[in-house]
Each structure stands twice: as C-alpha cells, then as structure tokens.
A and B are shown apart, each in its own frame.
Chain A
Amino acid sequence: MKRSGSLRGKIIAATGLMLAVIGIATLYTNFATAELARTIGLLFKGNLMIEDVRNGLTATSTGLSGYLTSRSSDYLRSFIQDSTRLQKSANLLNREIRQDEALLLQRELAGLVNGYLEAANAAVSAKRGRDVAVYTASYGDAERTAELAVYLVERIESRNLAASLQAWSGLDARVRSVIFTNAALVVAAVLTAFLLFVRYSYSIMGPLLVLADAAKRVAHGDYDKALPHLEAAEEIAVTADAFENMRLSVRSAFDELKSKAEVEGKLIREELRLVDLDRRLKDAELLALQSQINPHFLFNTLSAGLQLALSESADRTADFIEKLSGFIRYSLRPVSRLVSVADEIESVERYVWLLRLRFGPRYDFSIEVEEAARRIGTPALVLQPLVENAVGHGLRDRTEGGRVRVVARLEELEGRTVAVLEVCDNGRGMPEEEIERVLRQGGEAEVAEGGETASSGIGLHNVIRRVLLVTKGEGRVDIQSDGGSGTQVRILLPAREREV
C-alpha cells in the first residue's frame, strides 16, 4: 500500500487547485474587463477635461459679467469660485510643447484660459477702482479670449470625437475577440477544474471502491483474495492495511478451525471405526455362540462318556474324554475374553494331547513357556488355531518328521516389553501372497463371509483380527515363512498381566 499524503490534504489540494484555476480565469477576465473599461474611459477622459474647461469658462463669464454690471458681491464670490475652478481645470491641460497636434491645441487652450483669467481679473480690479475705460477694455478682451477659447474647445472636442470614433472602431473589433477569448478561457478553466475534480474523485474514491469490493468479498466468505496494490491517501491506506490484516487474521483463524475440524472429523471417523469393530466383535461372538450350540451338546455328551469310561475303568478313554471335554469347554467360552497365557497354554496342551493321540509319532509337538509370560493377558483361543493350521496345512503332506513348536516368552522390542506367543512348524510353509492376503484381511474391518477355509476353523485370519480388537491395536501378528521350510507365526502382545 503506497501512501500518497493525507486524505484531508488531498481534498484541500484538489479544491485549492480547482479554485485556483477558476479564480485565475475569473480574476483575469475581471482584469481584462477593467482594462477595457479603463481604455474606454480614456476615450472620454479628454472630453471630460475639456468640458470642465468649457463649463468653467461659461460660469466664470457669467460671474464676471454679473459683477461688472451689478457690482454684486454674490457675483464676485461666484466669479472668484468659478475662476478658481477654471484655473484648476486649465492646470490639467497640457502646457508642454510636444510634437502632437492635440497636445498643442491643449497648450493653446491653456494659454487662452490664462489670458482670459488675466483679462477678467484686470476687469474686476478696474471695476473696483471704477476705472471704466480699463474695465471696459479688459472685459472686451476677456470676452474675445473666452470666445476664442470656446471655439478652441469645440475644435478640440470635434477632433476628440473624430479620434474617439476612430479609436472605438478599432477597439470594438477587438473587444469581440477579447470577449470570445475570455469566454473560451472561462470554459477551459471550468473544464479543467471539472476534470481535476473527476481526477481527484477517482484518486480519492478509487481506493475506497477497491476496499468496498474487498469488504464485499469478505462478507461473502472469500478471505483468500488479497487487496490489490493501492496508491491511496494516508487515512485510506491505514484503513486498507487494517482491513488486510483483519482479513489475514480471519483467514488464519478459519484455517485453524478447519484444521481442528478435520482432526475432529478424523477422530470421529476413527471412533466410528472402533464402534464398528466392536460391533463386528460382538457379531463374531454371537456367531461363536451360535456355533456353541452343537459343541455344547457334544460337551455334555462327552461328560456322560467320561463318567461311563470311569465306570468301566477305561482310563485312557477317560483321559481322552477329559482332555477333549476340557478343550471343548475352553473353546465354548467367549472368544473375545482375555485369558492368561497360562490358560491358553493349558488349552493348547490339551489340544496337542488330542493330536498326539490322533497322529501318534507322526508329528512332534513341543511347548515352551517362560514363567514370566504365564501371567500375561492374551485373547483366548489364539494358539489352538495356529497349531491346527500348522498340522492341518503346514504338515498335512508330511507322513513323518513333522514338528510343531509352541513358545511363550517375553521379549524387549522397540524399547518395550512384549509377550510373544509363537507357533512354528517345519511344514511346507506359506506362499508370500497368501501371507499378505491373510495379514491384509486380518487388519480389515470387513471380512467377507466364508473368507476362511473350512479346515482352518477359527483360523489365522480370525486370530489376527481378535488380537487387534482385544489389544486395541497394540498387539499384532507376524508371519514368516520360507517356502518349503516351515512357517513361524508370532503373536506380539503388550506385556500386561491379566487382571484376575
């Protein structure tokens, strides 16, 4: 924002400039008119002067003749006053010798007036002295001189009139030009002043209009467009700067709110996702409950079979039924529950006993548990599906030498202690694509129905999901498999002891 003086200064300057332009034109036309009037006045100045002389002569002559004939003091006073006035008028006439006919005529007239006054005064003096001969002669002389002076006055006036007409004829032709030119001057001044006014209006109002547009945009919620570069008065510049700062502040606040809203939205979406996961967990539990109906019946039946075997002293069968019954009982409990690693290992030991019974020496099972890991909480029924998968898939093609190893221990990982439940086999392994698919599906909220093979039961996919759900994302499942050299599935759980 370039600042160009104060608004008040601009308005004062603009007004002053406009007034100056019009004032100059007005003063100029006044001056020109005055000069014209003065010039025209000159045309009559000479005649007025001469006319004064004529009137003085007439008045003085009247006084003189009145006094000489009546000897009245009133006439004498009048004569003295008029002759004094005449002398003053005559004193204005040219008395120098100049090479100009009009001036020479004036000089002659002045000489005649002087001669007249001398003769008139002589007549008055002689009248007082009662010298009839002298005042008669002097009066005659004065009258003749007055007559000649009047003749000269008329000659001068006639000449002046001719000169006046000549001068006026030249003057009149130019006066029209001057009037036209002065009118053009006034029009030009008004136009210039008007354009100056428009110019300064734009200069003053332009930035205000830009500011108003910007305010409109802001009112409609557009905070992005910055104020264009303006060259404005100081007051407007200050206002514009303040407005721009306000716009930037509002936009910054809006951006902050928007960012916060986005974070909150993300949080809400995350919460919704968790709610959805919870719902799915419940669905899974319901599904598991539904699937418990028949196993429950089976469990009761097995309990009856155990009692029968004991009654018949069939110990091995009784053990079998007991192990199976314990396993089923463990399995019928909700899968989303948190159990201790010890309980989970115990369940796996039952399952392994049953598998040994089934497969005999075909597979070698080993279970290693660190004592410290036993109290750690774990989702229930996560090891059995892994062992089942190892036997059912990994070692399915092996007729002998199949080995399954179950380990539970604590490890330091990335600066924290985690419980590791590990199931390894030396079976055929898993293709990499299969591992990726399983891990990907296990992390997804939505899992297609029937996404698991029938043989896997509550399979690897279900284990992965439940680990994630029960540990709130803190736990995870790693799968490593070297094609043909077995599979290692590791469940990493937060090392928190299960609360009893």
Chain B
Amino acid sequence: MGKAIRVLAAIFGLVFAGATALNAGLVLRSRSVLLGSGFAGEVAAPAARYHLLVILPDSDDAFFSHLLEGVMAGAGEADAAVQVERYDSSSQDGADRWFDIGVRARVDGLIMYAQQSARVAALADIARKAGVVFVAVGKDAPKYPLPCFIGSASLLQGYQGGAVLAAKLKGEARLGLILPAGGIDGPEEDYLYRGVAASVSMFKGARIVATAWSQPSPLSGEEAASSLIQDHADINAIFCANSGDSLGAAQVVVDRNLVGKVLIVGADETPELLRYLQKGIIMATVVRDSRRIGEEAIRAFSTMKSGGPAPGVIEVDSVVRLSGSPQ
C-alpha cells in the first residue's frame, strides 16, 4: 500500500509538472505570438528613434525586394523603425493614401517609390511643409526638381543591355524590347528604350524591331515575349526591363525551342534568373544595384533628419552579368 502511494504520488507529481510545463509553454508561446502581433499593447519590440514609412508598389520585381533589403540594412545605423506599406502598382491611389497617412500621422520620414510624374514634386513639398523627411526612390529621376532622389538610370541600363546584344549580333541584331510598366508616353520617350537605341545605333544594320509594355501581371513577360516573337519572326534578341519579365521571356524561348536563336538580356538577379543564366538560356542580365539604392535612401533620410543637406539626385550603377561568367 505504501509503495502504491509513493508510485501514485510520483505519477501525480509528474503529471502536475508536465501540465505546468505544457501550460507555461503554451501561454508563453501564445503570448509571444500575440505580443509579436502587437495585440497586447505591451512593449516587447526594441525601441527606435525614428519612425520611417517605406511606400513601395506590390511587385515581385527583385528591384524592390533588393531595395527593401538595403533600407533594412541601414535602418539599424539610422536608429529607425521601418514600416513598409505596399500598394497596388496599377494605381497611384494607394501610394497617395499612404503618403497622406504618413504625413498626417507625422512620421519622421517617408521613402517612396516615385515615377516620373509632376505629383512627386508636390508630394515632396507637402512632406517638407509637414516636417516629414521625404526620400524618393525609383529607376529614373523625375524631370521635376526633387530635394532627394535615389535611383538607377534606365538609360544606362538600356544602353548596357543593348550594347551586349549588339556586340553579339552586330549588324544582324533585331531587337524586341519589353519596357517597364507605367509608361504613359510613347516607347521612344522611355529612358530604357533610349538607352538601347543609343547602343544599337553604333552597329550598322542593327535595329529595334518592336516593343511591348510590361504589365503588373506575373505572366506579363511570357505574354509580351510571345507576342513579340509571334508578330515579328525576325526578332533574334529580347531585352527585358525587370526580373519577372526576363523569366517569362526565357520560358517562352525554351518552350518554342529558340534557345540560342533568340537571345535574351534580362534585368536584375534572382535565384531563378541566375539559374537560367548559368544554363545559357539567358545571355546576360543587367543588374541594377537596388540594394544600394535602399542603403543610400536611408542614409539620405538620416542625413536630412539630423539637419544635413538634401543629397539631390543619386543614380547608382548597373552591372552586367554574362552567361558563363563567374557570379
């Protein structure tokens, strides 16, 4: 009897301890999740000095993900808590709303993707009046003066990509271009187009056969590439403005068994893109250093927030990665 009592007491103790451990684990883990989501209103996340709102289009383009990486990498040094909000890239309303929220909520800084529009300058002015540091990031600097813009020049991107293709195909180059979405004016007004055209013009006989506009859809690259190849049988090279379109064009070339017959120069780098590059399906990719754009953007914010001068327009370089070359 005494032994049975001891065994029962031990079992009771074990069950009690187990239940305690399980409950404690459950509560702690649940609380952790809840605190992580800001439910409890209890302070758990580290504090920061500045509230920085980053407004970017909701896109799979590696340009933006790398840009964000650059922002995050510099956030610690800038002592900033970064809030990232994305908007539907098919409309500018989302961007404007978050801008308005940021300004009215008196955040410390705004990093916002800016397209070539007069409104960007107005936004910058509104932010300045509200005492909010405004840093515009993008691909090409707007035509209107901005106190701070960090971007990559599409003109250079187009020129470097076009030069690679023209050097390969010489006067036989028949190019199809998939231009970035959002273009309002004609293709000839697009900086990327201009850059390609400038490089092609150096080779006699080489020419741009056709252009297509990218769309926010993930299948945009495939649609555009198919259309170009189908409508223009003489195209022997396609130049893409972003990573998503590059992958789509590569798949079309593979599907149509045109690898080697239709050369592709893509943009930026993703693991998939690099894999295609390694296999030779994509001839080259012009990598815009969007990570550096992010780093420069937060550095500019920090400088301006601390009373320093606005850096004006900063355009980072692009790098060409060729198939078969070390990555």
Residues of A within 8 A of B (CB): 21, 24-25, 28, 32, 35-36, 39, 42-43, 45-46, 49, 92, 94, 96-112, 115, 144-145, 148, 151-152, 159-160, 163-164, 166-167, 170-171, 174-175, 177-178, 181-182, 184-185, 188-189, 191-192, 195-196, 198-199, 202
Contacts and interface: CB of A to CB of B under 8 A. Distances in A.
Given A96-B47, A107-B51, A185-B16, A167 B83 contact: no
Given A100-B45, A105-B83, A160-B39, A181 B27 contact: no
Interface in B270-292: none
A24 B50 CA distance: 50
A104 B81 contact: yes
Given A35-B23, A151-B101, A178-B26, A49 B41 contact: yes
A111 B38 contact: no
Interface string B20-56: 1011011101110110111111011111111101000
A174 B45 contact: no
Given A42-B34, A170-B30, A98 B81 contact: yes
B107 A99 contact: no
A177 B29 CA distance: 14
Given A145-B104, A181-B15, A185-B15, A94 B23 contact: no
B19 interface: yes
Contacts of A101: 38, 83-84
A102 B16 CA distance: 37
Interface of B: 1-2, 4-5, 8-9, 11-12, 15-16, 18-20, 22-23, 25-27, 29-31, 33-34, 36-41, 43-51, 53, 81-84, 97, 100-102, 104-108
Nearest to B108: A97
Contacts of B104: 111-112, 115, 144-145, 148
A195 B4 CA distance: 8
A112 B33 contact: no
B39 A43 contact: yes
Given A28-B19, A184-B15, A202-B1, A167 B33 contact: yes
Given A35-B23, A100-B38, A170 B29 contact: yes
Nearest to B4: A195
A197 to B, nearest CB: 11
B48 A97 contact: yes
A108 B107 contact: yes
Contacts of A167: 30, 33-34, 37, 39
Given A111-B105, A148-B97, A178 B22 contact: yes
11 contacts: A36-B27, A39-B31, A97-B47, A100-B44, A108-B51, A148-B100, A160-B37, A163-B38, A181-B23, A182-B19, A195-B4
A164 B43 CA distance: 18
Given A148-B100, A198-B1, A35 B27 contact: yes
The 7 closest A-B CB pairs, nearest first, are A102-B38, A111-B105, A163-B37, A100-B45, A46-B39, A108-B105, A98-B45
B15 A188 contact: yes
Given A98-B43, A99-B46, A163-B33, 6 more contacts: A39-B26, A45-B41, A98-B47, A148-B97, A163-B39, A199-B1
A351 B248 CA distance: 175
B222 to A, nearest CB: 31
Nearest to A102: B38
Given A94-B38, A188-B12, A103 B45 contact: yes
Contact of A99 (B15, B48, B100, B101): B48
Given A97-B81, A167-B37, A170-B29, A152 B23 contact: no
Contacts of B15: 181, 184-185, 188
B49 A97 contact: yes
Contacts of B43: 96, 98
A361 B2 CA distance: 107
B11 A188 contact: yes
Contacts of B82: 99
A100 B34 contact: no
Contacts of A166: 33, 37
A199 B38 contact: no
Contact of A148 (B16, B25, B38, B101): B101
B45 A42 contact: no
Nearest to B17: A185
Contacts of B12: 21, 185, 188-189, 191-192
B320 to A, nearest CB: 37
B39 A45 contact: yes
A165 to B, nearest CB: 11
B63 to A, nearest CB: 22
Chain B CB count within 10 A is highest, among A103, A164, A170, A199, for A103
A354 B53 CA distance: 173
Contacts of A42: 30-31, 34, 39-40
Contacts of A94: 38, 41
Given A112-B101, A184-B15, A196-B5, A98 B34 contact: no
A45 B45 contact: no
A185 B19 contact: yes
Given A98-B48, A104-B83, A148-B97, A188 B30 contact: no
A108 B26 CA distance: 32
B30 A171 contact: yes
A182 B23 CA distance: 9
B40 A100 contact: no
A189 B16 CA distance: 9
A340 to B, nearest CB: 90
Nearest to A104: B83
Nearest to B14: A188
